Amino acid sequence: MASGRKAVEDTDDRDSSIWVLDQQLDQPMEEEARRIRNAHQEKEHSVFKILQLAFQSLGIVYGDLGTSPLYVFYNTFPDGVENTEDLIGALSLIIYSLTLIPLIKYVFIVCKANDDGQGGTFALYSLLCRHAKIGTIPNHDHSDEKLTTYSCSKYREQSFAAKTKRWLEGHRVKKHAILVLVLVGSCMVIGDGILTPAISVLSAVGGINVGRTKISNDVAVLVAIVILIFLFTMQRYGTDKVGWLFAPVVFLWFILIGGIGIYNICKYDNGVLRAFSPVYIYRYFKRGGKVGWISLGGIMLSITGTEALFADLSHFPVSSIQIAFTVVVFPCLLLAYSGQAAYLMKNPNYVAGAFYHSIPDSIYWPVFFVATTAAIVASQATISATFSLIKQALALGCFPRVKVVHTSKTFRNQIYIPDINWILMVLCIAVTAGFKNQSQIGNASGTAVIIVMLVTTCLMTLIMILVWHSHWALVLLFTWLSLLVEGFYLSSVIQKVYQGGWVPLVIATAFFIIMYTWHYGTAKRYEIEMHTKVSMAWILSLGPSLGLVRVPGIGLVYTELASGVPHIFSHFITNLPAIHSVVVFVCLKCLPVCTIPEEERFLVKRIGPKNFRMFRCVARYGYKDLHKKDDDFEKKLFDSLFLFVRLESLMDGGSSDSDVSSLLDPQNETVTEFPLNTLNSTCSSMEFTNLCTADSIQLANSPLNQNQIMAPSNQANHQTEIDELEFLVSCKNVGVVHILGNTVMTARRDSSLFKKIAIDYVYAFLRKICRDNSAMFNIPHESLLNVGQTFYV
């Protein structure tokens, strides 16, 4: 027994020593990240710029919300108006719905929870992931927190926020519950991206058949389908060239509906203004009973577009969004709904197409044209929000790899996703042709919108606790009021599931299965790679040649691991007789941040002794960043690698951080760019000293010395640096090979039925139809080497 215990202790000691060795030879990159310069500055806008952006936001943000008057009253009273007093009650509900949800909740509260200007459910989720470790893929590293865009809070040990954080991080079930909540909200936004173009365009085109030109409903549906096909076909060209028209069109639309509202109030019945008293809401429900309660589903359409308001936040500061809503959107919408109610008080039989009936004859066709154009703009805003959401989900590992095209060189957020575009078009046309009327499409849209709002409320509750550190009483008040109002709407919408409300549920379910299964497979693959990574002791036992022939060239081994040697590498060197002279493990890591400054993108670290010539490079991206073409990526990677060798030499030579900082400060005029391809054996020490570019890693926390170029204190060390740089450049000139792992995952025989279906069928099918990693990384085919491996889960 004693000898057995001694053997176990010896084994434990050996395992412990190997672990310590791994940590010593492949340490985290906290030190490298600490030295990166804080170059990010918050943008400040002048008053004139704020007003200009407020005007531009009308076309991008408020198109969907602004076109709601086309169909709200018809969907509220699909069977006609039996009592004109019901119009006052419905108008009162619309007024206070617009006040409580878009104005107070979203414009003045939710919009402040943006992630560096980005809105939507994934932006909120990213914000939460930085303040609490709730991500389901455990790739968090302390070096990431050194980023200038990686904002996170520290809590007092006994604070409510700290307790909430510990409660969320305590169990995987809670982390998965938050992820499921985010995915549900995101899938409903996608569903809304299908339904909003359908109802907006169909409602606008329906004006042709309102008392002016008698055509059949089928013809109106056909015209709407033609417009939708044109809209989706033009997505590939982007909105950069015509985007400047959006704001004037929507601004004109708001002025027209506001003016028509004033005209109708003055002409027909100014008594509708008493709807500003909430007492009429009570009377409406008392008089209508269950019918009045069910009609909430139609009234809720007056706030559709509110979720798109938050999702389309990208280019505008919160102050411009608030000014545009309070000065233009909110008053014009109140006037438009009040004007329609005044018209219907005298003409209750014209509730179908109430907006078009209420237009004065002299301006009918100009308003019809503007309405149709505004409906197209509103549809464009929703489609763009869907593309943006898919891009975020793709970056965070929640959607299969699809092609993302950036349609504008000026605005990075203007993107086009071909596969998603055609899916949206087919489904949108199917909904339009299948229902053929506004009522059922309105029921479907209402279901999607209210679920997104409920998800936003739940996430905002956590944001207020973890990010804003709000007092628990304020959190409780916000959550209670939001759930109370939205809960009433949800209870009404549920009653209309069989009248069209099932459509977004089916669409969202399909997208949820895709997104959750893909994320599940991604998380499992990462988990397996973490458990199968190679011991550093084994690498060292092979010697500097790694037991193989080291051929000239550089091998870039792509991995998802930011630490350790991936299993793919051991699989590679045990099956092939040669390996490149220089090996760089490249980790493309997406962080829960909007964007990462270019000068902070790359972290470089040496693995093992110098004569092994193995490095690690972590390329960090935010969910809005664009992974550029391979030649540009290679250039910046090698710039960072060469710079690392130079910095390592300076530090080994006894130079201080301030010496290195003076050398690399971008304001130092003596530091110039030196093209790597001109390096040769005749390079002087001055040329090597100047080896740095504007895109390279920069070190912080030092004063500027514009007249100083630091040379290494040790001549031998300096010569070693020159030799290594020459060797690296010669290898680069020979050729660069990209080594990718072609991982196949299969469920074990003893796995559950759910896992077998998820991994062997759904995930395998998605991997088969999605883009390859080589296409996503823009790797040329002649430089690609795939290494196959199978993982059992």
Q: 739 pairs with which residues across the strands?
A: 557, 785
How many other CB atoms are there within 10 angstroms of residue 701's CB atom? Answer: 11
pLDDT averaged per 10 residues in sequence order, the chain, 793 residues: 44 43 49 43 66 84 87 86 88 94 92 84 89 82 76 76 86 90 92 87 78 69 89 79 78 94 92 92 86 86 85 79 92 95 90 88 89 87 85 87 76 78 92 80 84 93 91 92 91 84 89 92 86 78 76 87 81 79 87 84 85 87 73 81 83 55 41 34 34 34 38 60 84 86 83 86 86 66 76 79
Q: If you count DSSP H runs as helices and E runs as strands, how many of each does the chain have, helices first?
A: 32, 8
Q: CA-CA distance, 242 to 327, in Å (whole number)? A: 25
How many other CB atoms are there within 10 angstroms of residue 777's CB atom? Answer: 18
The contacts of residue 19 (CB under 8 Å, 6+ apart) are none
- Answer for the pair 411, 454: CB distance below 8 angstroms, yes or no: no
Question: Considering just the CA atoms, what is the radius of gyration of the chain in Å?
Answer: 30
> What single DSSP character describes residue 237?
G
Q: Percent helix, strand and coil across the chain, each rounded to 5?
A: 65, 10, 30
Amino acid at 751: S
Secondary structure element (H or E) that encloses residue 739, with its range:
strand 736-746
For residue 240, what pLDDT is reported? 60
Q: CA-CA distance, 344 to 357, in Å (whole number)? A: 9
Amino acid at 44: E
Where does residue 25 rank: exposed (0-12), middle (13-18), buried (19+ CB within 10 A)?
Answer: middle
What sign does the dihedral 252-253-256-261 (CA atoms) show?
negative
For residue 23, what pLDDT is reported? 47
Where does residue 162 rank: exposed (0-12), middle (13-18), buried (19+ CB within 10 A)?
Answer: middle
How is residue 38 written in tokens?
Answer: 């804080």
Q: CA-CA distance, 700 to 16, in Å (whole number)? A: 35
CA distances from 14 to 94, 534, 540, 544 (A): 72, 16, 15, 23
Amino acid at 592: P
DSSP letter string, 259-320: HHHHHHHHHT-GGGGGGGSTHHHHHHHHHHTHHHHHTHHHHGGGGTTHHHHHHT-TTS-HHH
Q: CA-CA distance, 423 to 186, in Å (whole number)? A: 16
Tokens 């088969």 -> residue: 768
How are beta strands 614-621 and 602-607 bridged, if at all?
antiparallel
CA distances from 648 to 172, 333, 642 (A): 40, 63, 10
Where does residue 469 rank: exposed (0-12), middle (13-18), buried (19+ CB within 10 A)?
Answer: middle
How are beta strands 415-416 and 405-406 bridged, if at all?
antiparallel
Secondary structure element (H or E) that encloses residue 592, with its range:
none
481, 392, 18, 355: which is closest to 183 by C-alpha? 392
Q: CA-CA distance, 216 to 239, in Å (whole number)? A: 33
How many other CB atoms are there within 10 angstroms of residue 699's CB atom? Answer: 21
Tokens 């899938």 -> residue: 187
How is residue 318 written in tokens?
Answer: 């919160």
How is residue 123 written in tokens?
Answer: 């932006």
| First-to-last C-alpha distance (Å) of the chain | 37
How is residue 117 written in tokens?
Answer: 């200007």
Phi, psi of 214, rounded to the nearest 5 degrees: -80, 105
Per-position b or e across 578-611, b if 16+ CB within 10 A of its CB? ebbbbbbbbbbbbbbbbbbbebbbbbbbbbbeee
Q: Name the CA dihedral angle for 320, 325, 327, 333, rounded to a multiple of 10 degrees.
A: 160
Q: CA-CA distance, 404 to 387, in Å (whole number)? A: 9
The contacts of residue 92 (CB under 8 Å, 6+ apart) are 275, 276, 277, 278, 280, 281, 284
CA angle 307, 250, 355 (to 5 degrees): 85
How many CA atoms within 13 Å lie on the side-chain side of 669? 2
How many other CB atoms are there within 10 angstroms of residue 753's CB atom? Answer: 8
For residue 605, what pLDDT is reported? 86
Q: CA-CA distance, 390 to 91, in Å (whole number)? A: 36
Tokens 């006994």 -> residue: 158
124, 433, 69, 131: which is closest to 307 by C-alpha? 124
For the entire predicted model, the pTM comes to: 0.82
How many other CB atoms are there within 10 angstroms of residue 532's CB atom? Answer: 15
Order the strands of the 578-590 sheet from edge to edge.
602-607, 614-621, 578-590, 549-559, 736-746, 784-792
Three-class SS state of 579:
strand
Three-class SS state of 558:
strand
For residue 403, what pLDDT is reported? 85
Amino acid at 140: H
The contacts of residue 182 (CB under 8 Å, 6+ apart) are 121, 122, 124, 125, 455, 459
For residue 628, what pLDDT is reported? 60
